[in-house]
């Protein structure tokens, strides 16, 4: 019996040691925080100043502010973006003196940078779902007076590859009340960006808009252009783009359909180092080349407050202007929404 127990103990000890060895080999990434704590696991991503790491001792991934990390060591391969616009494929670790980050590319080149200059990480072999993003916002309002009912939805799907990004969006607002014509505003869009060196990118998009306020049955706008991020840090993005747009419109009030070739200029501001608050704003201006004197503009602003379990509260809106609308006097249209949402 004693020999049997001894054999069992030896086997159990060997199994535990083997498990620990396999686990230590599998978990090749480690972080040293500024407070001295060490976290070992698998780094998933770094985006907007927050690093996500999966550990074997927690069912949920850890999220850590990038500014709270002192050292990083990894043998995994990442897509790495720097503040100067460089996009690298390779592993990274802190230098022996602790002052630099060394990125070793898949070509064997070693590039020195700093933690503050690293603004994005993503596993090169990451699966589809880790590269995908999704969000949906819902708003509902019911009022007894005049039987007022209003429903709104804003949604977005996205996918980020090594060199390109694809986004789909769908926004819908519907309102009805007694003795008043129903209000509807629906907008759908698809956009594509291809990233170049030094934070330049190529952009293409296709948008569809239906809007009862301005008697727009369908406005189809296709855009192609190029842009650049002038600020690209762990606290904020600021970029601009410009190009050509083709606009085709049909109307519900008998106005003849019209098409025009336009130029466009756009600005984008994204602030996210505000505790649990983030802000995204865009502005696009469209001067027409074929309709002399006509110009349009689209403005959006979204402020989001993060809640537990990927839920959030969002306050936002859009504003559209057309100096030559189909309905005289209805040069502007705007939507203001307060909603609760969820993101992937």
pLDDT at 335: 82
pTM: 0.75
pLDDT band at 125 (very low <50, low <70, confident <90, very high): low
Assess whether pLDDT exceeds 80 at residue 267: yes
Domain residue ranges in the chain: 25-125, 130-343
Mean pLDDT in residue range 309-319: 86
Question: Is residue 49 within 8 Å of residue 64, measured between CB atoms?
Answer: no
How far apart CA 190 and CA 205 sit, in angstroms, is 6
pLDDT band at 162 (very low <50, low <70, confident <90, very high): confident
pLDDT at 12: 44
**Greater model confidence, 342 or 249:** 249
Please identify, in words, the CATH class of the domain defined by 25-125: mainly beta
User: 3-state SS string over the chain?
Assistant: CHHHHHHHHHHHHHHHHHHHHHHHHHCCEEEEECCCCEEEEEEEEEECCEEEEECCCCCCCEEEEHHHEEEEECCCCEEEEECCCCEEEEEEEECCCCCCEEEEECCCCEEEECHHHEEEEEECCCCHHHHEEEEEEEEEEEECHHHEEEEEEEEEEEEECCCEEEEEEEEEEEEEECCEEEEEEEEEEEEEEEECHHHEEEEEEEEEEEECCCCEEEEEEEEEEEEEEEEECCCEEEEEEEEEEEEEEEECCCCCCEEEEEEEEEEEEEEEEECCEEEEEEEEEEEECCCCCCEEEEEEEEEEEECHHHEEEEEEEEEEEECCCCCCCCCEEEEEEEEEEEEC
pLDDT band at 273 (very low <50, low <70, confident <90, very high): low
How far apart CA 218 and CA 187 sit, in angstroms, is 10
Mean pLDDT in residue range 263-282: 88
In the block, tokens 């995908």 appear at 132
Distances (CA, A) of 116 to 78, 94, 174, 233, 305: 17, 12, 45, 8, 25
Instruction: Say which CATH topology domain 130-343 has.
Output: Porin (2.40.160)
State the Rg of the chain over Cα: 26
Q: How many beta carbons lie within 10 A of that of residue 118, not counting itself?
A: 23
- Of the listed ranges 50-59, 80-89, 120-129, the one predicted with least confidence: 120-129
**Greater model confidence, 180 or 151:** 151
In the block, tokens 């049955």 appear at 217
Assess whether pLDDT exceeds 60 at residue 64: yes
How far apart CA 336 and CA 173 sit, in angstroms, is 10
**Greater model confidence, 204 or 19:** 204
**Among candidate residues 219, 236, 169, 200, the one with its CA nearest the CA of residue 320:** 219
Percent of the chain at pLDDT > 90 equals: 33
How far apart CA 16 and CA 242 sit, in angstroms, is 60
Assess whether pLDDT exceeds 70 at residue 38: yes
pLDDT at 57: 75
Question: Is residue 244 within 8 Å of residue 259, measured between CB atoms?
Answer: no
Assess whether pLDDT exceeds 70 at residue 97: yes
Up-side HSE of residue 171: CA atoms within 13 Å toward CB?
17
pLDDT band at 224 (very low <50, low <70, confident <90, very high): very high
pLDDT band at 233 (very low <50, low <70, confident <90, very high): confident
pLDDT at 16: 39
pLDDT band at 257 (very low <50, low <70, confident <90, very high): very high
């Amino acid at each position: 019996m004693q020999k049997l127990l001894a054999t069992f103990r030896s086997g159990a000890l060997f199994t535990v040691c083997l498990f620990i060895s396999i686990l230590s080999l599998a978990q090749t990434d480690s972080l040293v925080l500024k407070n001295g704590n060490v976290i070992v696991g698998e780094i998933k991503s770094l985006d907007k100043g927050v690093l996500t790491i999966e550990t074997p001792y927690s069912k949920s991934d850890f999220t850590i502010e990038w500014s709270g990390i002192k050292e990083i060591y990894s043998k995994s391969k990442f897509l790495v973006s720097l503040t100067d616009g460089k996009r690298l494929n390779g592993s990274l670790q802190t230098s022996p003196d602790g002052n630099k980050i060394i990125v070793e590319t898949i070509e064997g080149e070693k590039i020195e940078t700093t933690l503050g200059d690293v603004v994005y990480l993503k596993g090169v072999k990451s699966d589809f779902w880790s590269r995908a993003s999704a969000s949906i916002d819902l708003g509902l309002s019911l009022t007894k007076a005049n039987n007022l009912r209003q429903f709104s939805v804003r949604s977005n799907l996205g996918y980020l590859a090594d060199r390109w990004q694809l986004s789909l969006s769908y926004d819908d607002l519907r309102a009805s009340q007694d003795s008043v014509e129903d209000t509807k505003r629906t907008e759908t869009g698809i956009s594509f960006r291809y990233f170049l060196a030094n934070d330049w990118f190529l952009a293409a998009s296709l948008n569809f808009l239906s809007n009862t306020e301005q008697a727009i049955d369908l406005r189809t706008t296709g855009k192609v252009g190029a842009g650049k991020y002038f600020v690209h840090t762990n606290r904020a993005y600021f970029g601009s783009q410009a190009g050509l747009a083709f606009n085709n419109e049909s109307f519900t009030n008998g106005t003849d359909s019209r098409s025009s070739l336009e130029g466009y200029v756009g600005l984008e501001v994204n602030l996210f180092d505000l505790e649990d608050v983030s802000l995204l704003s865009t502005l696009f201006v469209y001067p027409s080349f074929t309709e002399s004197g006509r110009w349009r503009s689209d403005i959006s602003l979204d402020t989001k407050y993060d809640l537990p379990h990927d839920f959030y509260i969002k306050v936002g809106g859009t504003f559209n202007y057309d100096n030559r609308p189909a309905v005289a006097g209805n040069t502007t249209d705007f939507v203001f929404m307060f909603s609760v949402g969820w993101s992937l």
